[in-house]
A and B are shown apart, each in its own frame.
Chain A
């Protein structure tokens, strides 16, 4: 069953390979935490300027997969990744690749808003500063303003740019973190359950933002909320027990999925 569906997925992907351009391609990606295997030969391609949602029950490996895309797993002790992941044409696990450069191209927004205990301005300018993206103060001001505007936060904070970022509300903090990621002008933005710590109104704002960001960035988002996946994404991938069960157009996933497990999960029969 599993084998069949995976080969079906691959076939479907192969067909579309000619039409769409892929930003990141994961081939036979497996992740081990020490002895424990968390991901089993996942083949998942991320389309350019598309929001791809990763869904599945807790512990299914969707966050683990997300973190392989910018090598955040490197920061975890005895975590091992096998397989191949490419960003455009670069193998990101190649020894030649500088992980710092990679993370500048593949930014990340975390589950819990984690602004640095610095001012709003410094939070946003942090990335550009370490990567030397601004020539002078005016340049930096411009980057900060543009990033905050992209994150839909500019009007709310423009009068208090030099106040602490931790003083904002939860939703504002999360949008600040998105602005911070955007400021480095990444090509891909990874979001790990970005709304799980937010109230419904803040969630709606962030979702709207994700929608707008799609025009300029490739976005991969992990979410526990099926409705959210349906609202924000064009492609959805379903994980279960470390395996990729199905990857499909979001519309199809939520109306007529190919795999029985996807059906069961979406209907709320497990997970």
Chain B
């Protein structure tokens, strides 16, 4: 029976349990639901939960565990000469066996009889059924494949029986427990609580998993390249990462990339902060509700544009425009029409990224400014301050910690931004301060190092993980600090 069919049956049992549980509870009190401890629906849910949850858990565990068990018992039956081979080759052999097993399910019994003895025929026959094999199967493989199929079948039948029995038994036991004073509501709510906890732990565990995997790969990298050379190196020259070249002669200096990242982020903030902040002040303090209700969503549309689109914009519009503008300016002043702004430059990337960040700055700051209590504004206005004095001297100082927090969060976005810089900043890892020249960022280099055919053994690819974890730590610190500041600010008014 297929897994989805089993799930369907379990679900039907659950629904039946829900209906039966509710009816049973009502029948126990002769239809007077007020005599029940909980609403009838809770009794139904209680039965349904006991029917469905254990059965599904068993199903899940079985599905995960049985392939491991079957694979290890098949491997333990390998001939001794195969067992003597390396782990990788045993893995290949097992892969072929499972392909054969899959193919044999598609053959009729007579065909199996016919080809069983001759491995070459088997390969052709399976090929005809759409199951290609990597090599000629050896006789022991055919036998092992047969065993594998048998074990899989047994496992599946047992699983079906166990799961369905568990569903019925769980539902029945729960049904038996129902009586008028039984606290079904508390039980059901506990189940809901547990599922909420599970959901949030999955989110947290995923984060932990990502960090751990990056850390392991980064540690591999640091066995090739010393950490201090990476963190304090000033030259980025990773050479090629061709498969099998194995050359670790490249230089992996983080400093030029980090400088580029911070420089471009800085230029972006230079554009985003004043514009975003001013628009937030206008929205929060001056705009009439009508203007606000139209302008705020419009501004936030900017936040919904995919960053790759900003990248196009930078690449095809802003970059060439700045380049041509600079050549015209140069021509007017010196008569020499050569451009001094490159199409791909810190300025281009920073400018476009700044546009991208405006809605973050304005939306976050707007919320924070609006959260400043009205009483403070009234207090200032009541003393004869003008609106702008009130904003400058009371509202903004009160909102300042929150705004700083918002800016830090925005900065962490700028540091982690990828697509705009890939298209607009260039790939030259240089240390220089001219905003008209291209520079590159950590994210661009991660993309570069991980593009194409890769083997994850050379420092050329592993460096991406070291870069990734560095970036992660930077943004994490920025975010934690921002949250700390924002929280501290909130306490002021509570």
Alpha-carbon distance A166/B117, docked complex (angstroms): 92
Q: Separation in Å of the A130 CB from the closest CB of chain B?
A: 5
Q: Separation in Å of the A145 CB from the closest CB of chain B?
A: 18
- Segment with Cβ contacts to A, from B199-207, B376-384, B419-427: B376-384
**Interface of chain B, helix or strand or loop or mixed?**
helix
A35 at the interface (CB under 8 A from B): no
Q: Which residue of A lies closest to B381 (CB)?
A: A75
- Inside 8 A of A70's CB, which chain B residues have their CB? 382
Alpha-carbon distance A107/B397, docked complex (angstroms): 23
Instruction: Report the count of interface residues on A (CB-CB < 8 A).
Output: 28
Alpha-carbon distance A70/B492, docked complex (angstroms): 29
Q: Check B379–A177 contact: CB distance below 8 A.
A: yes
Q: Which residue of A lies closest to B288 (CB)?
A: A77
Known A116-B394, A117-B397: A72·B378 in contact at CB below 8 Å: yes
- Segment with Cβ contacts to B, from A2-10, A42-50, A97-105, A263-271: A97-105
Q: Separation in Å of the B144 CB from the closest CB of chain A?
A: 76
Q: Which of A75-116 contact B (CB under 8 A)?
A: 75, 77, 100-104, 107-110, 112, 114-116
From B373, B376, B377, B384, A127 is in contact (CB under 8 Å) with B384
Q: Check A77–B384 contact: CB distance below 8 A.
A: no
Q: Check A126–B386 contact: CB distance below 8 A.
A: no
- Inside 8 A of A181's CB, which chain B residues have their CB? 382-383
Known A116-B394, A130-B393: A104·B384 in contact at CB below 8 Å: yes
Q: Check A100–B397 contact: CB distance below 8 A.
A: no
Alpha-carbon distance A177/B373, docked complex (angstroms): 16
- Inside 8 A of B289's CB, which chain A residues have their CB? 77
B136 at the interface (CB under 8 A from A): no
B336 at the interface (CB under 8 A from A): no
Chain B interface size, as a band, is 20 to 34
A206 at the interface (CB under 8 A from B): no
Q: Check B382–A116 contact: CB distance below 8 A.
A: no
Q: Which of B289, B378, B386, B393: most chain A Cβ within 10 A?
A: B378
Alpha-carbon distance A166/B378, docked complex (angstroms): 16
A198 at the interface (CB under 8 A from B): no
A205 at the interface (CB under 8 A from B): no
Q: Separation in Å of the A174 CB from the closest CB of chain B?
A: 12
From A75, A107, A116, B398 is in contact (CB under 8 Å) with A116
Alpha-carbon distance A102/B397, docked complex (angstroms): 25
Q: Which residue of A lies closest to B389 (CB)?
A: A130
Q: Separation in Å of the B404 CB from the closest CB of chain A?
A: 15
Q: Separation in Å of the B414 CB from the closest CB of chain A?
A: 29
B375 at the interface (CB under 8 A from A): yes
Q: Which of A32-77 contact B (CB under 8 A)?
A: 70, 72, 75, 77
A224 at the interface (CB under 8 A from B): no
Alpha-carbon distance A159/B389, docked complex (angstroms): 29
Q: Check A114–B376 contact: CB distance below 8 A.
A: yes
Alpha-carbon distance A126/B288, docked complex (angstroms): 28
Q: Check B382–A108 contact: CB distance below 8 A.
A: yes
Closest 4 CB pairs of A and B: A104-B384, A108-B382, A114-B375, A103-B384
Interface residues of B (CB under 8 A from A): 288-289, 373, 375-386, 389, 393-394, 397-398, 492
Contacts A/B (CB < 8 Å), 13 sampled: A72-B378, A100-B385, A101-B384, A103-B382, A107-B384, A114-B379, A116-B380, A116-B394, A116-B397, A117-B398, A130-B383, A130-B384, A166-B492
Interface residues of A (CB under 8 A from B): 70, 72, 75, 77, 100-104, 107-110, 112, 114-118, 126-127, 130-131, 166, 177, 180-181, 184
16 A-B pairs besides A100-B386, A103-B381, A116-B376 with CB distance below 8 A are A75-B378, A75-B381, A100-B385, A104-B383, A107-B382, A110-B375, A112-B375, A116-B397, A117-B376, A126-B394, A127-B384, A127-B385, A130-B383, A130-B385, A177-B379, A181-B382
